[in-house]
Chain A
Amino acid sequence: MSDKDKKKDKKKEKRLLPSDYQRKIKYGSLDNTPKRIERTQGRFFEFPEDMKGFPFQEREFLVFYFDVPEDYEIVREFFEVPTKASVSHPELDTEKLIRLVRLIRSVKEAKEAKARERGNGEDTAAE
């Protein structure tokens, strides 16, 4: 057989005959196939006996309580928290909260820096 024929032969898909297929089928036992498992976080879990000090879904979390219903509505609408789910704890827009906190912090820092600069300017002018 020439090299060309060999290459052609390699390219040919091996067709299974009905008898081969029959031989491959087995009903006598279960398999134990190798598995690459991607663990799901928080889909199913045993609720911890004591929640205090336990990481929730292996993530940090915070809980807010609102005394005034209007405040709750403002925050809920701002973060687009859906409440129609049959089970509570839908995925919150945590990114938005982080962006907001960072924004506020940067504004606050900028204000402080400005105030400091002003203070320094006044001091030098006085000297």
Chain B
Amino acid sequence: MKGETAKIRRRNDARPNSDYIKICKTCGICGGLKLKPGTLCTSLREEAALSFKYPETFPQTYDGSRFSSDAMDCAIPIALDSHSGCSYNCLYCFSNNLFERRSDPVIKSIQESGAPLYREWPTAKLEKFLARENRDKWSMAAYTLMDRGAPVQLGALGDPFDELELHSGWAKKAIPLFIKYKQPVRISTKGGITLQRKDYLKLFEKSPEQFWVAWSIICNDDERIARVDVKAPVTSERLKAMKALTNIGVRCSLRFRPFLPGLSDSYPGEPEAWRVLIERAREAGAEAVSFEFIFLDTRLSPRQRAMYQLMFREMGRPDFGEWWNSHSNPKETCRRASRAIKYEMTMKVREKVHELGMRFGISDPHFKEFNDTGCCCGFPEQDSWFGGWSRRQMTEVIVQARKAYERGEPRLFNYEDWKPAWAHMIPLNNVEPARSWHAYRRKKFKTYGDALRDKWNNPLDPRGPYLYFGKVLVPMGRDLNTGDLVYEYQPWYPGKESKTIYRDTGYRDLRVGEER
């Protein structure tokens, strides 16, 4: 600790820190450490602004195709990425954890030596994949979805229109390939600068309706968003690009996630910031809103931990982490607090979105039942390009369960009802990498589908439907035909959590394959 304090002091001497004085009054940590106000924030900001030199060409060694690890409840589980990282340093982003296994000195040495940190997915390999020429298990499973018109997501880990794109021009070669092979693509981006450029807009002109651009924007204020989405274009730039795209026929939506209290909802001078942002997105042509509250990852690299601290300060709530975690299930890796905390804001956003005639999608597992369709990106049910999203996933289950309940015809679900065939075609280690040799040995004969079934049949698993969806899908028995648990929908209301009793000792009787 002494060493750390000394290090911070050295930085403190070198840099002015008047920007943080206001936040210091609410934080008080620097004062407690007898440091100059704003010192910690300054040093954390240095971490956030870390940048790397780009080589002339990125090493062409990256495989940018995978199934999303959220495929359990994702309607478009095929995730593609142009590069192995992202040039934007958004404080909340899990891609910062790419450095999880690399200690800070290693990152620093890469930075200082100028060695390439990022790798690129060769477009030749992308074409081979799109042309159905691959014969590996992963590709064969993906083809079963793509052959039925399922869209793919581009930009699952890093932004496909960031600084790396401007440096390498990967998308200029990739977009024509998607058009050539008639592959619908949902792009997730913040690249407001890149996508206002004429040379990039021209790429989409040949078949604009084949692309859906989901714009991640979490704050209505340009100055504030610049401090959180470090190095990314500001809100107004993104909205301008959204307008430019919708003008040429590309479909767009607003990804209002992660929703950060203190930044996304309101701040001094703008008490209804969330409402204004949704209205501005509507004016720019967004046809849907995808909403989700922040989740806090618990497996943090030192760099991510520093960035979280900075984010809490920008939110004006330095103690947000402890407060949020205290309301979360401690068994969760991604801490999501409770439904009760998020209920009011979620309902307000939903009402506003419907009022403006847009579709509402919610990727937060809490309140996922309130999706308009089983796709939390906000895709419509019927659509020539984007209606082919996979229904064999848990978001569709919970939405259909809610709709059936509201019709007065409650429906029961077992695993067979939504079993995704692709998941049983690929090894588990292909989707969720084993982090140790022991874990690898345990999992090597399992498919990803087996893991999904295990989760379905274990109500104590934080990723099982009972806990993951906040006790809305409740196991009510076992199906003797398949041996799997059967779930029914029970609507949530404030105060329900304290009334539902789960008996810890009894669940073993319900496990698949065990004699009662």
The residues of A with any CB-CB pair to B shorter than 8 Å are 22, 24-40, 42-47, 85-87, 89-91
When the two chains form their complex, are residues A40 and B476 in contact, meaning their CB atoms are under 8 A apart? Answer: yes
Bound CA–CA A47/B391 (angstroms): 34
When the two chains form their complex, are residues A90 and B480 in contact, meaning their CB atoms are under 8 A apart? Answer: no
Q: A27-B390, A30-B392 are in contact. List 4 more A-B contacts (CB 8 A).
A: A26-B421, A27-B421, A28-B391, A40-B478
When the two chains form their complex, are residues B416 and A37 in contact, meaning their CB atoms are under 8 A apart? Answer: no
Residues of B within 8 A of A40 (CB): 475-478, 506, 509-510
Bound CA–CA A44/B501 (angstroms): 6
Given contacts A30-B400, A30-B417, A38-B477, contact A87 B505 (CB under 8 A): yes
Residue of A nearest to B420 (CB): A27
When the two chains form their complex, are residues A89 and B397 in contact, meaning their CB atoms are under 8 A apart? Answer: no
Bound CA–CA A28/B149 (angstroms): 10
Residues of A within 8 A of B510 (CB): 40, 43
Residues of A within 8 A of B501 (CB): 44-45, 47
Chain B: interface size category: 35 or more
Instruction: Looking at the assembled complex, report how far the CB atom of B355 sits from the nearest CB atom of chain A, in whole angstroms.
Output: 30
Residues facing A in B455-506 (CB within 8 A) are 459, 474-482, 486, 499-506
Residues of A within 8 A of B445 (CB): none
Q: Does B22 contact A (CB under 8 A)?
A: no
Q: Does B412 contact A (CB under 8 A)?
A: yes
Bound CA–CA A121/B472 (angstroms): 72
Bound CA–CA A89/B477 (angstroms): 20
Residue of A nearest to B401 (CB): A30
Bound CA–CA A88/B166 (angstroms): 61
Mask, B60-101, CB within 8 Å of A = 1, is 000000000000000000000000000000000000000000
When the two chains form their complex, are residues B505 and A37 in contact, meaning their CB atoms are under 8 A apart? Answer: no
Given contacts A28-B148, A34-B481, A38-B478, contact A43 B503 (CB under 8 A): yes
When the two chains form their complex, are residues A31 and B417 in contact, meaning their CB atoms are under 8 A apart? Answer: yes
Instruction: Looking at the assembled complex, report how far the CB atom of A48 sits from the nearest CB atom of chain B, in whole angstroms.
Output: 10
Residues of A within 8 A of B479 (CB): 35-38
When the two chains form their complex, are residues A30 and B475 in contact, meaning their CB atoms are under 8 A apart? Answer: no
Residues of A within 8 A of B326 (CB): none
Bound CA–CA A107/B242 (angstroms): 88
Bound CA–CA A36/B479 (angstroms): 5
Bound CA–CA A33/B338 (angstroms): 33
Among B148, B397, B411, the residue within 8 A (CB) of A27 is B148
Q: Does B150 contact A (CB under 8 A)?
A: yes
When the two chains form their complex, are residues A42 and B503 in contact, meaning their CB atoms are under 8 A apart? Answer: yes
When the two chains form their complex, are residues A27 and B500 in contact, meaning their CB atoms are under 8 A apart? Answer: no
When the two chains form their complex, are residues A27 and B391 in contact, meaning their CB atoms are under 8 A apart? Answer: yes
Q: List 9 A-B contacts (CB under 8 A).
A: A27-B391, A30-B391, A37-B478, A37-B479, A38-B478, A40-B510, A43-B475, A47-B499, A90-B505
Among A22, A28, A33, A38, the residue within 8 A (CB) of B480 is A38
Q: Does B189 contact A (CB under 8 A)?
A: no
Q: Does B13 contact A (CB under 8 A)?
A: no
Residue of B nearest to A39 (CB): B477
Instruction: Looking at the assembled complex, report how far the CB atom of B157 sits from the nearest CB atom of chain A, in whole angstroms.
Output: 24
Q: Does B112 contact A (CB under 8 A)?
A: no
Among B390, B396, B500, the residue within 8 A (CB) of A46 is B500
Instruction: Looking at the assembled complex, report how far the CB atom of A89 sits from the nearest CB atom of chain B, in whole angstroms.
Output: 7
Q: Does B5 contact A (CB under 8 A)?
A: no
Bound CA–CA A40/B509 (angstroms): 9
Among B145, B414, B503, the residue within 8 A (CB) of A33 is B414
Instruction: Looking at the assembled complex, report how far the CB atom of A14 sits from the nearest CB atom of chain B, in whole angstroms.
Output: 19
When the two chains form their complex, are residues A85 and B504 in contact, meaning their CB atoms are under 8 A apart? Answer: yes
Among A31, A36, A87, the residue within 8 A (CB) of B418 is A31
